[in-house]
Structure 1
Protein backbone atom coordinates (compact mmCIF):
# COMPACT_ATOMS: atom_id res chain seq x y z
CA UNK A 1 0.00 0.00 0.00
CA UNK A 2 2.77 2.33 0.94
CA UNK A 3 4.38 1.77 -2.45
CA UNK A 4 1.10 2.40 -4.23
CA UNK A 5 0.45 5.48 -2.13
CA UNK A 6 3.91 6.78 -2.96
CA UNK A 7 3.45 6.20 -6.68
CA UNK A 8 0.01 7.81 -6.61
CA UNK A 9 1.28 10.75 -4.60
CA UNK A 10 4.30 11.15 -6.86
CA UNK A 11 2.08 11.14 -9.93
CA UNK A 12 -0.18 13.80 -8.47
CA UNK A 13 2.83 15.84 -7.39
CA UNK A 14 4.39 15.55 -10.84
CA UNK A 15 1.11 16.65 -12.41
CA UNK A 16 0.92 19.69 -10.18
CA UNK A 17 4.57 20.48 -10.86
CA UNK A 18 4.08 20.10 -14.61
CA UNK A 19 1.03 22.34 -14.48
CA UNK A 20 2.82 24.99 -12.48
CA UNK A 21 5.76 24.97 -14.92
CA UNK A 22 3.79 24.61 -18.16
CA UNK A 23 1.23 27.34 -17.55
CA UNK A 24 3.71 30.25 -17.51
CA UNK A 25 5.58 28.73 -20.49
CA UNK A 26 2.38 28.59 -22.52
CA UNK A 27 1.46 32.11 -21.49
CA UNK A 28 4.87 33.39 -22.48
CA UNK A 29 4.59 31.76 -25.91
CA UNK A 30 1.43 33.67 -26.80
CA UNK A 31 2.04 36.57 -29.16
CA UNK A 32 -0.21 39.45 -30.19
CA UNK A 33 0.47 41.25 -33.44
CA UNK A 34 -1.14 44.37 -34.87
CA UNK A 35 -2.37 44.42 -38.46
CA UNK A 36 -2.93 47.88 -39.97
CA UNK A 37 -4.93 48.11 -43.18
CA UNK A 38 -5.49 50.56 -46.01
CA UNK A 39 -9.23 49.77 -46.02
CA UNK A 40 -12.19 51.14 -44.06
CA UNK A 41 -13.49 48.80 -41.36
CA UNK A 42 -15.94 46.16 -42.65
CA UNK A 43 -15.33 47.31 -46.23
CA UNK A 44 -16.70 44.56 -48.53
CA UNK A 45 -14.14 42.02 -49.71
CA UNK A 46 -11.06 44.01 -48.68
CA UNK A 47 -11.69 45.17 -45.13
CA UNK A 48 -13.65 42.02 -44.35
CA UNK A 49 -10.92 39.97 -46.02
CA UNK A 50 -8.27 41.52 -43.77
CA UNK A 51 -10.35 40.77 -40.69
CA UNK A 52 -11.04 37.23 -41.85
CA UNK A 53 -7.31 36.67 -42.44
CA UNK A 54 -6.52 37.89 -38.92
CA UNK A 55 -9.20 35.60 -37.50
CA UNK A 56 -7.85 32.64 -39.51
CA UNK A 57 -4.33 33.10 -38.14
CA UNK A 58 -5.64 33.47 -34.59
CA UNK A 59 -7.87 30.39 -34.85
CA UNK A 60 -5.36 28.19 -36.69
CA UNK A 61 -2.70 28.96 -34.08
CA UNK A 62 -5.22 28.45 -31.24
CA UNK A 63 -4.41 31.94 -30.01
CA UNK A 64 -0.65 31.45 -29.91
CA UNK A 65 -0.49 34.21 -32.55
CA UNK A 66 -3.39 36.59 -32.06
CA UNK A 67 -3.81 39.27 -34.73
CA UNK A 68 -5.62 42.51 -33.92
CA UNK A 69 -6.89 44.55 -36.87
CA UNK A 70 -6.69 48.34 -37.09
CA UNK A 71 -8.49 49.73 -40.12
CA UNK A 72 -7.49 52.80 -42.12
CA UNK A 73 -6.88 55.78 -39.84
CA UNK A 74 -7.37 53.91 -36.57
CA UNK A 75 -3.67 53.51 -35.79
CA UNK A 76 -1.93 54.97 -38.87
CA UNK A 77 -3.14 56.71 -42.06
CA UNK A 78 -4.40 54.43 -44.83
CA UNK A 79 -1.29 54.90 -46.97
CA UNK A 80 1.05 54.80 -43.99
CA UNK A 81 0.61 51.10 -43.28
CA UNK A 82 3.73 49.91 -45.12
CA UNK A 83 5.90 52.39 -43.25
CA UNK A 84 4.29 51.29 -39.98
CA UNK A 85 5.61 47.76 -40.51
CA UNK A 86 9.03 49.02 -41.57
CA UNK A 87 9.28 51.27 -38.51
CA UNK A 88 7.90 48.62 -36.13
CA UNK A 89 4.72 50.37 -34.94
CA UNK A 90 2.80 47.41 -36.42
CA UNK A 91 3.84 43.86 -37.21
CA UNK A 92 1.58 43.41 -40.26
CA UNK A 93 -0.13 45.49 -42.92
CA UNK A 94 -2.88 44.64 -45.40
CA UNK A 95 -3.04 46.62 -48.62
CA UNK A 96 -1.86 46.59 -52.24
CA UNK A 97 1.82 46.46 -53.19
CA UNK A 98 1.60 49.09 -55.92
CA UNK A 99 0.66 51.71 -53.34
CA UNK A 100 4.36 51.73 -52.42
CA UNK A 101 5.63 52.49 -55.91
CA UNK A 102 7.32 55.63 -54.58
CA UNK A 103 9.69 53.27 -52.72
CA UNK A 104 10.30 50.86 -55.60
CA UNK A 105 8.87 50.72 -59.10
CA UNK A 106 8.96 46.93 -58.83
CA UNK A 107 6.11 46.82 -56.30
CA UNK A 108 3.52 47.16 -59.08
CA UNK A 109 4.33 43.70 -60.38
CA UNK A 110 3.04 42.06 -57.20
CA UNK A 111 -0.38 43.70 -57.53
CA UNK A 112 -1.25 44.04 -61.20
CA UNK A 113 0.09 45.77 -64.30
CA UNK A 114 -1.49 46.95 -67.59
CA UNK A 115 -2.07 44.15 -70.08
CA UNK A 116 -0.44 41.88 -67.54
CA UNK A 117 -1.23 38.66 -65.74
CA UNK A 118 -4.63 37.61 -64.50
CA UNK A 119 -4.93 36.87 -60.79
CA UNK A 120 -4.58 33.14 -61.40
CA UNK A 121 -1.48 33.69 -63.50
CA UNK A 122 -0.03 35.99 -60.84
CA UNK A 123 -0.56 33.32 -58.18
CA UNK A 124 1.12 30.72 -60.40
CA UNK A 125 4.10 33.00 -60.91
CA UNK A 126 4.43 33.77 -57.20
CA UNK A 127 4.00 30.18 -56.00
CA UNK A 128 5.70 28.11 -58.68
CA UNK A 129 7.75 30.25 -61.06
CA UNK A 130 10.08 32.26 -58.86
CA UNK A 131 7.87 35.28 -58.23
CA UNK A 132 8.06 34.99 -54.44
CA UNK A 133 11.85 34.99 -54.61
CA UNK A 134 11.79 38.19 -56.70
CA UNK A 135 9.30 39.72 -54.27
CA UNK A 136 11.49 38.76 -51.31
CA UNK A 137 14.48 40.43 -52.98
CA UNK A 138 12.53 43.66 -53.52
CA UNK A 139 11.11 43.74 -49.98
CA UNK A 140 14.34 42.69 -48.25
CA UNK A 141 15.64 46.22 -48.65
CA UNK A 142 12.79 47.41 -46.40
CA UNK A 143 13.07 44.61 -43.85
CA UNK A 144 9.64 43.14 -44.66
CA UNK A 145 8.15 40.13 -46.41
CA UNK A 146 5.04 40.03 -48.59
CA UNK A 147 2.36 37.38 -49.17
CA UNK A 148 -0.58 37.35 -51.58
CA UNK A 149 -3.67 37.81 -49.43
CA UNK A 150 -6.62 38.45 -51.73
CA UNK A 151 -7.74 38.21 -55.36
CA UNK A 152 -10.26 40.74 -56.68
CA UNK A 153 -10.21 39.37 -60.24
CA UNK A 154 -10.37 41.65 -63.27
CA UNK A 155 -11.15 45.16 -62.13
CA UNK A 156 -13.30 47.91 -63.56
CA UNK A 157 -11.69 50.66 -65.63
CA UNK A 158 -13.12 53.55 -63.65
CA UNK A 159 -15.85 56.15 -63.19
CA UNK A 160 -16.03 59.21 -65.42
CA UNK A 161 -18.22 62.29 -65.44
CA UNK A 162 -18.89 61.86 -69.14
CA UNK A 163 -18.43 59.25 -71.83
CA UNK A 164 -14.92 59.01 -73.28
CA UNK A 165 -15.03 59.40 -77.04
CA UNK A 166 -11.27 59.49 -77.57
CA UNK A 167 -7.92 60.77 -76.38
CA UNK A 168 -9.01 64.39 -76.33
CA UNK A 169 -11.27 63.62 -73.36
CA UNK A 170 -8.30 62.37 -71.35
CA UNK A 171 -6.15 65.50 -71.59
CA UNK A 172 -5.79 67.20 -68.21
CA UNK A 173 -8.35 64.90 -66.57
CA UNK A 174 -7.73 64.56 -62.81
CA UNK A 175 -7.81 60.82 -62.36
CA UNK A 176 -7.28 58.69 -59.27
CA UNK A 177 -5.46 55.54 -60.37
CA UNK A 178 -2.29 54.04 -58.82
CA UNK A 179 0.59 51.84 -59.89
CA UNK A 180 2.14 51.36 -63.31
CA UNK A 181 -1.34 51.85 -64.77
CA UNK A 182 -1.38 55.34 -63.34
CA UNK A 183 1.86 56.09 -65.17
CA UNK A 184 0.30 54.88 -68.41
CA UNK A 185 -2.70 57.18 -67.98
CA UNK A 186 -0.36 60.04 -67.14
CA UNK A 187 1.61 59.45 -70.33
CA UNK A 188 -1.68 59.68 -72.22
CA UNK A 189 -2.32 63.16 -70.82
CA UNK A 190 -4.22 62.62 -67.56
CA UNK A 191 -3.22 64.24 -64.27
CA UNK A 192 -2.88 61.21 -62.03
CA UNK A 193 -3.13 61.10 -58.24
CA UNK A 194 -3.17 58.28 -55.72
CA UNK A 195 -5.30 58.28 -52.60
CA UNK A 196 -6.89 55.76 -50.26
CA UNK A 197 -10.24 54.25 -51.20
CA UNK A 198 -12.06 55.93 -48.35
CA UNK A 199 -11.02 59.38 -49.62
CA UNK A 200 -12.14 59.04 -53.25
CA UNK A 201 -15.84 59.90 -52.89
CA UNK A 202 -15.18 63.25 -51.19
CA UNK A 203 -12.57 64.12 -53.84
CA UNK A 204 -15.03 63.36 -56.65
CA UNK A 205 -17.76 65.29 -54.90
CA UNK A 206 -15.57 68.37 -54.39
CA UNK A 207 -14.24 68.35 -57.95
CA UNK A 208 -10.70 67.55 -56.85
CA UNK A 209 -11.08 64.48 -59.09
CA UNK A 210 -12.73 64.22 -62.50
CA UNK A 211 -12.56 60.43 -62.58
CA UNK A 212 -11.51 57.52 -60.39
CA UNK A 213 -10.95 53.81 -60.50
CA UNK A 214 -10.80 51.66 -57.42
CA UNK A 215 -11.73 47.98 -57.67
CA UNK A 216 -15.02 46.92 -59.22
CA UNK A 217 -18.81 46.89 -58.82
CA UNK A 218 -18.88 45.17 -55.39
CA UNK A 219 -16.67 47.82 -53.76
CA UNK A 220 -17.66 50.74 -55.96
CA UNK A 221 -21.36 50.37 -55.13
CA UNK A 222 -20.51 50.44 -51.42
CA UNK A 223 -18.46 53.61 -51.88
CA UNK A 224 -21.27 55.37 -53.76
CA UNK A 225 -19.34 56.58 -56.81
CA UNK A 226 -22.50 56.18 -58.91
CA UNK A 227 -24.03 59.12 -57.06
CA UNK A 228 -21.54 61.44 -58.79
CA UNK A 229 -20.48 59.69 -62.01
CA UNK A 230 -22.71 57.65 -64.31
CA UNK A 231 -20.27 56.48 -66.99
CA UNK A 232 -18.55 53.27 -65.87
CA UNK A 233 -15.86 51.50 -67.90
CA UNK A 234 -15.35 47.77 -67.83
CA UNK A 235 -13.06 45.88 -67.97
CA UNK A 236 -9.85 47.54 -66.90
CA UNK A 237 -6.87 47.27 -69.22
CA UNK A 238 -4.48 48.36 -66.46
CA UNK A 239 -5.59 45.72 -63.93
CA UNK A 240 -6.60 42.48 -65.66
CA UNK A 241 -5.99 40.75 -62.34
CA UNK A 242 -5.26 42.31 -58.99
CA UNK A 243 -3.90 40.92 -55.74
CA UNK A 244 -3.82 42.37 -52.25
CA UNK A 245 -0.89 41.68 -49.95
CA UNK A 246 -0.11 40.91 -46.35
CA UNK A 247 3.19 42.49 -45.33
CA UNK A 248 4.99 41.27 -42.21
CA UNK A 249 8.05 42.56 -40.40
CA UNK A 250 10.70 40.11 -41.59
CA UNK A 251 12.75 40.01 -38.39
CA UNK A 252 9.70 39.27 -36.27
CA UNK A 253 8.36 36.76 -38.77
CA UNK A 254 11.68 34.92 -38.85
CA UNK A 255 11.63 34.74 -35.05
CA UNK A 256 8.30 32.86 -35.07
CA UNK A 257 8.34 29.07 -34.64
CA UNK A 258 8.20 27.21 -37.95
CA UNK A 259 4.59 26.11 -37.43
CA UNK A 260 3.39 29.69 -36.88
CA UNK A 261 5.23 30.83 -40.00
CA UNK A 262 3.47 28.05 -41.93
CA UNK A 263 0.11 29.11 -40.47
CA UNK A 264 0.57 32.71 -41.67
CA UNK A 265 1.48 31.51 -45.15
CA UNK A 266 -1.36 28.97 -45.34
CA UNK A 267 -3.92 31.46 -44.03
CA UNK A 268 -2.87 33.96 -46.72
CA UNK A 269 -3.25 31.37 -49.44
CA UNK A 270 -6.68 30.35 -48.17
CA UNK A 271 -7.81 33.95 -47.99
CA UNK A 272 -6.50 34.69 -51.49
CA UNK A 273 -8.95 32.09 -52.79
CA UNK A 274 -11.75 33.12 -50.41
CA UNK A 275 -11.63 36.75 -51.51
CA UNK A 276 -11.74 35.65 -55.16
CA UNK A 277 -14.94 33.70 -54.51
CA UNK A 278 -16.46 36.66 -52.70
CA UNK A 279 -15.79 39.04 -55.59
CA UNK A 280 -16.87 36.60 -58.29
CA UNK A 281 -20.13 36.06 -56.42
CA UNK A 282 -20.91 39.70 -55.67
CA UNK A 283 -19.55 41.72 -58.60
CA UNK A 284 -22.30 40.66 -61.07
CA UNK A 285 -25.03 41.35 -58.49
CA UNK A 286 -23.60 44.79 -57.72
CA UNK A 287 -23.22 45.65 -61.42
CA UNK A 288 -26.86 44.71 -62.04
CA UNK A 289 -27.89 46.98 -59.17
CA UNK A 290 -25.79 49.87 -60.50
CA UNK A 291 -27.33 49.63 -63.97
CA UNK A 292 -30.94 48.82 -63.14
CA UNK A 293 -31.44 50.84 -59.97
CA UNK A 294 -29.00 53.73 -60.36
CA UNK A 295 -28.91 54.38 -64.10
CA UNK A 296 -25.21 53.67 -64.55
CA UNK A 297 -24.02 53.39 -68.17
CA UNK A 298 -21.40 50.69 -68.81
CA UNK A 299 -18.88 51.20 -71.63
CA UNK A 300 -15.70 49.73 -73.02
CA UNK A 301 -12.72 51.98 -73.64
CA UNK A 302 -12.36 53.32 -77.21
CA UNK A 303 -9.77 51.55 -79.35
CA UNK A 304 -7.81 54.81 -79.65
CA UNK A 305 -7.20 54.81 -75.89
CA UNK A 306 -6.41 51.09 -75.70
CA UNK A 307 -3.87 51.29 -78.51
CA UNK A 308 -2.05 54.34 -77.16
CA UNK A 309 -2.06 52.84 -73.65
CA UNK A 310 -0.17 49.83 -74.97
CA UNK A 311 2.43 52.08 -76.58
CA UNK A 312 2.81 54.17 -73.43
CA UNK A 313 3.12 50.98 -71.37
CA UNK A 314 6.06 49.92 -73.52
CA UNK A 315 7.82 53.23 -72.80
CA UNK A 316 7.14 52.92 -69.07
CA UNK A 317 8.47 49.36 -68.99
CA UNK A 318 11.64 50.35 -70.84
CA UNK A 319 12.31 53.15 -68.38
CA UNK A 320 11.56 50.84 -65.47
CA UNK A 321 14.02 48.28 -66.81
CA UNK A 322 16.69 50.95 -67.15
CA UNK A 323 16.13 52.00 -63.52
CA UNK A 324 16.25 48.57 -61.91
CA UNK A 325 18.49 46.50 -64.17
CA UNK A 326 22.27 46.80 -63.89
CA UNK A 327 24.13 48.27 -66.82
CA UNK A 328 25.55 45.59 -69.11
CA UNK A 329 29.21 45.05 -68.59
CA UNK A 330 31.65 45.16 -71.46
CA UNK A 331 33.19 41.77 -72.15
CA UNK A 332 36.81 41.50 -71.04
CA UNK A 333 39.47 41.90 -73.70
CA UNK A 334 40.85 38.68 -75.05
CA UNK A 335 44.24 37.81 -73.64
CA UNK A 336 47.16 37.89 -76.05
CA UNK A 337 48.95 35.13 -74.11
CA UNK A 338 49.21 31.73 -75.74
Structure 2
Protein backbone atom coordinates (compact mmCIF):
# COMPACT_ATOMS: atom_id res chain seq x y z
CA UNK A 1 0.00 0.00 0.00
CA UNK A 2 1.66 3.21 -1.19
CA UNK A 3 0.89 6.58 -2.81
CA UNK A 4 1.71 7.22 -6.46
CA UNK A 5 4.06 10.13 -7.15
CA UNK A 6 4.38 11.92 -10.47
CA UNK A 7 2.01 12.94 -13.24
CA UNK A 8 2.07 12.49 -17.03
CA UNK A 9 -0.36 14.77 -18.85
CA UNK A 10 -2.04 14.01 -22.15
CA UNK A 11 -0.38 15.16 -25.38
CA UNK A 12 -2.81 14.25 -28.14
CA UNK A 13 -5.81 12.07 -28.85
CA UNK A 14 -5.25 8.39 -29.64
CA UNK A 15 -7.64 5.92 -31.22
CA UNK A 16 -9.55 4.47 -28.28
CA UNK A 17 -9.51 3.18 -24.69
CA UNK A 18 -6.38 1.50 -23.35
CA UNK A 19 -6.47 -2.13 -22.22
CA UNK A 20 -5.67 -1.11 -18.65
CA UNK A 21 -8.65 1.25 -18.50
CA UNK A 22 -10.93 -1.45 -19.92
CA UNK A 23 -9.67 -3.91 -17.31
CA UNK A 24 -10.25 -1.47 -14.43
CA UNK A 25 -13.77 -0.80 -15.67
CA UNK A 26 -14.48 -4.54 -15.93
CA UNK A 27 -13.37 -5.06 -12.31
CA UNK A 28 -15.47 -2.10 -11.14
CA UNK A 29 -18.65 -3.25 -12.88
CA UNK A 30 -18.28 -6.79 -11.54
CA UNK A 31 -17.81 -5.45 -8.02
CA UNK A 32 -20.25 -2.53 -7.89
CA UNK A 33 -22.96 -3.02 -10.52
CA UNK A 34 -25.53 -4.15 -7.96
CA UNK A 35 -24.84 -0.99 -5.96
CA UNK A 36 -25.44 1.30 -8.91
CA UNK A 37 -21.99 1.20 -10.51
CA UNK A 38 -21.96 1.91 -14.23
CA UNK A 39 -19.58 2.74 -17.05
CA UNK A 40 -19.67 6.52 -17.46
CA UNK A 41 -17.04 6.53 -20.18
CA UNK A 42 -13.39 5.92 -21.05
CA UNK A 43 -12.30 7.27 -24.44
CA UNK A 44 -13.38 10.75 -25.50
CA UNK A 45 -11.22 13.03 -27.65
CA UNK A 46 -11.87 16.41 -26.04
CA UNK A 47 -10.24 19.16 -23.95
CA UNK A 48 -10.42 19.23 -20.16
CA UNK A 49 -13.78 20.69 -19.06
CA UNK A 50 -13.46 24.45 -18.75
CA UNK A 51 -10.42 24.61 -21.05
CA UNK A 52 -9.99 24.95 -24.79
CA UNK A 53 -6.30 24.04 -24.82
CA UNK A 54 -5.53 21.16 -22.45
CA UNK A 55 -6.27 17.66 -23.78
CA UNK A 56 -8.16 15.42 -21.37
CA UNK A 57 -6.62 12.05 -20.50
CA UNK A 58 -9.88 10.61 -21.84
CA UNK A 59 -8.41 11.57 -25.23
CA UNK A 60 -5.54 9.12 -24.67
CA UNK A 61 -7.84 6.44 -23.26
CA UNK A 62 -6.02 6.58 -19.90
CA UNK A 63 -8.88 8.16 -17.94
CA UNK A 64 -12.07 6.35 -17.02
CA UNK A 65 -15.20 7.41 -15.17
CA UNK A 66 -16.60 4.98 -12.61
CA UNK A 67 -20.24 6.02 -12.57
CA UNK A 68 -22.66 5.75 -9.67
CA UNK A 69 -26.16 6.63 -8.60
CA UNK A 70 -24.68 9.34 -6.42
CA UNK A 71 -27.90 10.35 -4.71
CA UNK A 72 -28.03 7.23 -2.54
CA UNK A 73 -24.60 5.57 -2.85
CA UNK A 74 -22.06 8.36 -2.51
CA UNK A 75 -20.98 7.20 0.96
CA UNK A 76 -20.16 3.72 -0.38
CA UNK A 77 -18.10 5.09 -3.24
CA UNK A 78 -16.27 7.40 -0.84
CA UNK A 79 -14.62 4.26 0.56
CA UNK A 80 -13.59 3.10 -2.92
CA UNK A 81 -12.09 6.51 -3.75
CA UNK A 82 -9.96 6.43 -0.61
CA UNK A 83 -8.74 2.86 -1.26
CA UNK A 84 -7.78 3.83 -4.80
CA UNK A 85 -5.70 6.67 -3.37
CA UNK A 86 -4.05 4.53 -0.68
CA UNK A 87 -3.12 1.85 -3.26
CA UNK A 88 -2.41 4.25 -6.11
CA UNK A 89 1.26 3.28 -6.52
CA UNK A 90 0.51 -0.41 -6.95
CA UNK A 91 -2.40 0.32 -9.30
CA UNK A 92 -0.62 3.04 -11.27
CA UNK A 93 -3.27 5.67 -10.53
CA UNK A 94 -1.93 9.20 -10.94
CA UNK A 95 -5.13 11.16 -10.32
CA UNK A 96 -8.60 10.72 -8.78
CA UNK A 97 -11.42 13.29 -8.73
CA UNK A 98 -14.56 12.64 -6.72
CA UNK A 99 -17.15 14.63 -4.77
CA UNK A 100 -15.33 17.99 -5.00
CA UNK A 101 -11.97 16.52 -3.96
CA UNK A 102 -8.88 15.68 -6.01
CA UNK A 103 -5.81 13.54 -5.43
CA UNK A 104 -2.89 13.90 -7.83
CA UNK A 105 0.54 12.33 -7.84
CA UNK A 106 1.81 15.64 -9.16
CA UNK A 107 0.83 17.58 -6.04
CA UNK A 108 3.13 18.14 -3.07
CA UNK A 109 0.65 16.78 -0.51
CA UNK A 110 -0.38 13.14 -0.93
CA UNK A 111 -3.90 13.55 0.47
CA UNK A 112 -7.05 15.11 -0.90
CA UNK A 113 -7.29 18.70 -2.09
CA UNK A 114 -10.47 20.71 -2.63
CA UNK A 115 -11.39 20.40 -6.31
CA UNK A 116 -12.33 23.67 -8.02
CA UNK A 117 -12.95 22.44 -11.57
CA UNK A 118 -16.21 23.11 -13.39
CA UNK A 119 -17.63 19.60 -12.82
CA UNK A 120 -17.89 18.65 -9.10
CA UNK A 121 -17.77 14.89 -9.94
CA UNK A 122 -20.61 13.89 -7.63
CA UNK A 123 -21.95 11.21 -9.98
CA UNK A 124 -18.70 9.46 -10.90
CA UNK A 125 -15.10 8.82 -9.88
CA UNK A 126 -12.70 10.18 -12.49
CA UNK A 127 -9.56 8.01 -12.44
CA UNK A 128 -6.37 8.50 -14.47
CA UNK A 129 -3.72 5.86 -15.19
CA UNK A 130 0.00 6.21 -15.78
CA UNK A 131 1.07 4.89 -19.18
CA UNK A 132 2.50 1.76 -17.58
CA UNK A 133 -0.81 0.94 -15.91
CA UNK A 134 -2.77 1.90 -19.02
CA UNK A 135 -0.79 -0.57 -21.12
CA UNK A 136 -1.42 -3.59 -18.88
CA UNK A 137 -3.66 -6.23 -20.40
CA UNK A 138 -7.32 -6.43 -19.41
CA UNK A 139 -6.72 -9.72 -17.61
CA UNK A 140 -3.67 -8.51 -15.69
CA UNK A 141 -5.46 -5.34 -14.62
CA UNK A 142 -8.51 -7.21 -13.33
CA UNK A 143 -6.25 -9.59 -11.38
CA UNK A 144 -4.19 -6.74 -9.94
CA UNK A 145 -7.22 -4.73 -8.83
CA UNK A 146 -8.71 -7.78 -7.15
CA UNK A 147 -5.40 -8.50 -5.41
CA UNK A 148 -4.95 -4.94 -4.14
CA UNK A 149 -8.58 -4.02 -3.44
CA UNK A 150 -10.59 -7.22 -3.12
CA UNK A 151 -10.24 -7.52 0.65
CA UNK A 152 -10.20 -3.80 1.36
CA UNK A 153 -13.41 -2.47 -0.15
CA UNK A 154 -16.14 -3.56 2.22
CA UNK A 155 -19.14 -1.62 0.99
CA UNK A 156 -19.30 0.16 4.34
CA UNK A 157 -20.32 3.78 4.22
CA UNK A 158 -17.99 6.68 4.92
CA UNK A 159 -19.94 9.66 6.31
CA UNK A 160 -20.05 12.75 4.10
CA UNK A 161 -21.66 16.13 4.60
CA UNK A 162 -25.37 15.96 3.87
CA UNK A 163 -26.95 18.38 1.42
CA UNK A 164 -30.52 18.32 0.05
CA UNK A 165 -31.32 16.97 -3.40
CA UNK A 166 -33.55 18.71 -5.95
CA UNK A 167 -35.23 16.10 -8.14
CA UNK A 168 -37.47 18.34 -10.27
CA UNK A 169 -38.41 21.91 -11.10
CA UNK A 170 -41.76 21.91 -9.33
CA UNK A 171 -43.06 24.96 -7.40
CA UNK A 172 -42.17 23.14 -4.18
CA UNK A 173 -38.47 23.03 -5.10
CA UNK A 174 -37.76 26.59 -6.24
CA UNK A 175 -34.72 28.44 -4.81
CA UNK A 176 -35.91 29.59 -1.40
CA UNK A 177 -33.06 31.56 0.14
CA UNK A 178 -31.64 28.59 2.06
CA UNK A 179 -28.01 28.71 3.17
CA UNK A 180 -27.80 24.90 2.74
CA UNK A 181 -27.33 24.68 -1.02
CA UNK A 182 -28.70 21.60 -2.83
CA UNK A 183 -26.27 19.08 -4.29
CA UNK A 184 -27.88 18.78 -7.70
CA UNK A 185 -31.13 19.04 -9.65
CA UNK A 186 -32.84 17.42 -12.61
CA UNK A 187 -31.77 18.73 -16.02
CA UNK A 188 -33.08 22.17 -16.93
CA UNK A 189 -35.55 22.46 -19.77
CA UNK A 190 -33.94 23.95 -22.90
CA UNK A 191 -36.31 26.85 -23.52
CA UNK A 192 -34.06 29.92 -23.33
CA UNK A 193 -35.15 31.08 -19.88
CA UNK A 194 -32.70 32.68 -17.49
CA UNK A 195 -34.96 32.97 -14.49
CA UNK A 196 -35.11 31.71 -10.91
CA UNK A 197 -34.46 28.04 -11.77
CA UNK A 198 -31.54 28.72 -14.09
CA UNK A 199 -30.00 31.23 -11.68
CA UNK A 200 -30.48 28.76 -8.83
CA UNK A 201 -28.67 26.10 -10.87
CA UNK A 202 -25.85 28.56 -11.56
CA UNK A 203 -25.63 29.29 -7.82
CA UNK A 204 -25.28 25.56 -7.09
CA UNK A 205 -22.46 25.29 -9.65
CA UNK A 206 -20.67 28.35 -8.24
CA UNK A 207 -21.02 27.01 -4.69
CA UNK A 208 -19.58 23.65 -5.74
CA UNK A 209 -16.67 25.07 -7.73
CA UNK A 210 -15.47 28.26 -6.07
CA UNK A 211 -17.31 28.56 -2.75
CA UNK A 212 -17.76 32.22 -3.50
CA UNK A 213 -19.32 35.27 -1.90
CA UNK A 214 -22.98 34.39 -2.37
CA UNK A 215 -24.28 32.42 0.62
CA UNK A 216 -27.95 31.97 -0.31
CA UNK A 217 -29.69 29.72 -2.81
CA UNK A 218 -32.27 32.32 -3.79
CA UNK A 219 -32.40 32.30 -7.60
CA UNK A 220 -31.59 36.01 -7.80
CA UNK A 221 -29.00 37.30 -10.27
CA UNK A 222 -27.62 40.04 -8.08
CA UNK A 223 -24.22 41.47 -7.17
CA UNK A 224 -22.72 38.54 -5.22
CA UNK A 225 -23.84 35.87 -7.72
CA UNK A 226 -22.63 38.02 -10.63
CA UNK A 227 -19.27 38.55 -8.89
CA UNK A 228 -18.92 34.80 -8.31
CA UNK A 229 -19.68 34.21 -12.01
CA UNK A 230 -16.93 36.68 -12.89
CA UNK A 231 -14.54 34.77 -10.61
CA UNK A 232 -15.40 31.50 -12.38
CA UNK A 233 -14.83 33.10 -15.77
CA UNK A 234 -11.47 34.52 -14.69
CA UNK A 235 -10.33 31.11 -13.44
CA UNK A 236 -11.05 29.78 -16.91
CA UNK A 237 -9.24 32.60 -18.70
CA UNK A 238 -12.20 34.88 -19.47
CA UNK A 239 -13.39 38.27 -18.20
CA UNK A 240 -9.83 39.54 -17.83
CA UNK A 241 -9.55 42.00 -20.74
CA UNK A 242 -11.89 43.11 -23.51
CA UNK A 243 -11.48 40.67 -26.45
CA UNK A 244 -12.16 43.32 -29.12
CA UNK A 245 -12.86 47.03 -29.54
CA UNK A 246 -16.50 48.04 -29.01
CA UNK A 247 -18.63 50.78 -27.45
CA UNK A 248 -15.72 53.17 -27.18
CA UNK A 249 -13.55 50.66 -25.29
CA UNK A 250 -10.29 49.46 -26.84
CA UNK A 251 -9.30 45.82 -27.16
CA UNK A 252 -7.23 44.61 -24.20
CA UNK A 253 -8.76 46.96 -21.63
CA UNK A 254 -8.79 45.31 -18.16
CA UNK A 255 -12.26 44.37 -16.94
CA UNK A 256 -13.45 45.20 -13.44
CA UNK A 257 -14.93 42.53 -11.16
CA UNK A 258 -17.67 44.88 -9.99
CA UNK A 259 -20.71 42.60 -9.75
CA UNK A 260 -22.53 44.31 -12.63
CA UNK A 261 -23.89 42.28 -15.55
CA UNK A 262 -23.23 44.73 -18.37
CA UNK A 263 -22.24 44.37 -22.02
CA UNK A 264 -18.72 43.02 -21.43
CA UNK A 265 -19.94 40.58 -18.78
CA UNK A 266 -22.31 39.00 -21.28
CA UNK A 267 -19.75 39.03 -24.11
CA UNK A 268 -17.28 37.12 -21.94
CA UNK A 269 -19.96 34.75 -20.60
CA UNK A 270 -21.01 34.05 -24.19
CA UNK A 271 -17.39 33.53 -25.20
CA UNK A 272 -16.86 30.99 -22.41
CA UNK A 273 -20.09 29.21 -23.33
CA UNK A 274 -19.13 29.13 -27.00
CA UNK A 275 -15.73 27.61 -26.24
CA UNK A 276 -17.09 25.10 -23.75
CA UNK A 277 -20.01 23.99 -25.90
CA UNK A 278 -17.99 24.03 -29.12
CA UNK A 279 -20.15 26.49 -31.01
CA UNK A 280 -18.24 28.86 -33.28
CA UNK A 281 -18.63 30.40 -36.73
CA UNK A 282 -21.40 28.91 -38.85
CA UNK A 283 -22.68 26.55 -36.19
CA UNK A 284 -26.31 27.04 -35.24
CA UNK A 285 -28.19 26.67 -31.99
CA UNK A 286 -31.54 25.34 -33.13
CA UNK A 287 -32.41 27.77 -35.99
CA UNK A 288 -30.44 30.87 -35.02
CA UNK A 289 -26.80 31.66 -35.55
CA UNK A 290 -24.71 31.85 -32.39
CA UNK A 291 -23.39 35.40 -31.89
CA UNK A 292 -21.16 37.05 -29.30
CA UNK A 293 -23.37 40.13 -29.05
CA UNK A 294 -23.42 40.85 -25.31
CA UNK A 295 -27.20 40.38 -25.15
CA UNK A 296 -28.72 37.85 -22.71
CA UNK A 297 -31.51 36.81 -25.07
CA UNK A 298 -33.15 33.46 -25.81
CA UNK A 299 -30.27 31.72 -27.60
CA UNK A 300 -27.84 32.74 -24.86
CA UNK A 301 -30.37 31.38 -22.35
CA UNK A 302 -30.40 28.04 -24.16
CA UNK A 303 -26.61 27.96 -24.13
CA UNK A 304 -26.56 28.63 -20.39
CA UNK A 305 -29.11 25.85 -19.79
CA UNK A 306 -27.09 23.33 -21.82
CA UNK A 307 -23.86 24.39 -20.11
CA UNK A 308 -25.40 24.02 -16.65
CA UNK A 309 -26.83 20.60 -17.53
CA UNK A 310 -23.39 19.48 -18.74
CA UNK A 311 -21.46 20.76 -15.75
CA UNK A 312 -23.69 20.57 -12.68
Q: TM-score, normalised by structure 2?
A: 0.25
Compare the two structures and name the one with the higher strand fraction: 1
Compare the two structures and name the one with the higher helix fraction: 1
Which structure carries more relative contact order (alpha carbon 8 Å, separation 6+)? 1
